């Protein structure tokens, strides 16, 4: 049984090693960066996982969208922009940016903490002999990170300055399998920083952190699919495309007390447990239109940008406006 469980991981490790030796290592050496070969090997793992995810999104989720689409689109330009965001995220370009910015800060925090005598608390040491078994440990970390993700997501919808950035994600009127990564880069950076800090505090091993990230990203792509799909009674145990589409619905997912307010419903990342526990769950039997109310012509027709760089610039402008209003 153990060999069956370990086989996919061993296959991934061999593929990572082969890709590193054939492509990444020669490139690193040609650029005179042999000193970061270890980090480049880790990056190769993210690259390989990203290629597998892209294949899954294109083939499996593409088939789901063709089988039972919620909507049929005539203008594919917004979808192509989402595809570019997905390439940036899943092929490691954003990860490369974190390597030069966030990773050194996290490493410095870890070193300073050890100098002060601080040691991370390892969640898998909670119940020796049980919680340290690989699959149980993974499940524990997944639940803890998902709980944190729920509250981070609520904060993105509760604070005006953060919503100014996160609104870009909700501005897609043609939500589909590529939409998960349609985010402002600063929004992504803040989320990555908070989860990196949580991983540091919990003593999460790099392999565990990577596995949690990949499982989360894969299911998030499914949740955004333009597919008329739900999980029936299991929808109360695992977030489905219908459950998450309600989160993106105009006037439902991003509002709590009427037009122009913040808040919303269905913030769960993988587990809808937290929404049910804290009163934010909606299980409507519907697949409503997605977007933000102020995009509608009758509500002002706000422009969120048609291209990637326009969207990033407008996000910064919304952030600046929100901060100015707060200071005033």
| pLDDT tens digits along 189-214 | 999 999 999 988 888 888 888 889 99
Q: What pLDDT sits at residue 6? A: 60
Question: What is the per-residue pLDDT across 148-167, written as a single tens digit (0 to 9) for each?
Answer: 999 999 999 999 999 999 99
Q: What tokens does 123 get? A: 């969640």
Residue with tokens 């589409």: 245
pLDDT of residue 1: 46
pTM (2 d.p.): 0.92
What's residue 290's pLDDT?
A: 96
C-alpha to C-alpha distance for 254 and 186, rounded to whole angstroms: 20
**How far from chain centre, in Å, is Cα 306?**
22
The reported pLDDT for the residue numbered 134 is: 78
Query: How high is the pLDDT of residue 32?
Result: 84
- Determine the pLDDT at residue 7: 67
Q: Which two tokens stand for residue 37?
A: 């070969």
Residues in the chain with pLDDT < 50?
1-2, 4
- What 3-state class would DSSP assign to 290? strand
Residue 115 neighbours by CB under 8 Å, 6+ apart: none
Task: Tell me, rounded to whole angstroms, the distance of Cα 218 from its chain centroid.
Answer: 9
């Amino acid at each position: 049984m153990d060999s069956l469980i370990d086989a996919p991981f061993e296959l991934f490790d061999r593929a990572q090693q082969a890709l590193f030796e054939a492509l990444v290592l020669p490139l690193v050496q040609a650029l005179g960066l042999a000193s970061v070969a270890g980090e480049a090997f880790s990056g190769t793992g993210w690259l390989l996982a990203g290629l597998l995810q892209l294949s899954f999104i294109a083939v499996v989720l593409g088939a789901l969208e063709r089988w039972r689409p919620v909507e049929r689109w005539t203008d594919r330009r917004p979808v192509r922009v989402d595809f570019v965001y997905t390439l940036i995220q899943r092929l490691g370009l954003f990860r490369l940016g974190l390597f030069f910015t966030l990773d050194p800060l996290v490493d410095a925090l870890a070193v300073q903490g050890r100098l002060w005598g601080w040691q991370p608390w390892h969640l898998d040491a909670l119940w020796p002999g049980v919680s340290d078994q690989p699959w149980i440990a993974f499940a524990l970390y997944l639940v803890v990170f998902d709980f944190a993700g729920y509250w981070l997501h609520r904060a993105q919808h509760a604070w005006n300055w953060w919503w100014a950035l996160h609104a870009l994600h909700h501005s897609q009127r043609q939500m589909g399998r590529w939409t998960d990564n349609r985010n402002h880069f600063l929004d992504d950076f803040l989320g990555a920083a908070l989860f990196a800090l949580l991983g540091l505090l919990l003593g999460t091993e790099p392999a565990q952190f990577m596995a949690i990230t990949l499982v989360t990203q894969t299911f998030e792509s499914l949740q955004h699919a333009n597919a008329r799909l739900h999980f029936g009674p299991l929808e109360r145990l695992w977030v489905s495309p219908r459950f998450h589409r309600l989160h993106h619905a105009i006037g439902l997912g991003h509002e709590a007390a009427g037009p122009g307010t913040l808040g919303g419903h269905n913030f769960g990342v993988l587990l809808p447990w937290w929404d049910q526990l804290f009163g934010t769950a909606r299980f409507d039997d519907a697949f409503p239109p997605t977007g933000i109310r102020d995009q509608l012509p009758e509500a002002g027709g706000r422009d969120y940008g048609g291209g990637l760089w326009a969207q990033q610039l407008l996000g910064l402008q919304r952030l600046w406006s929100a901060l100015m209003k707060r200071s005033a």
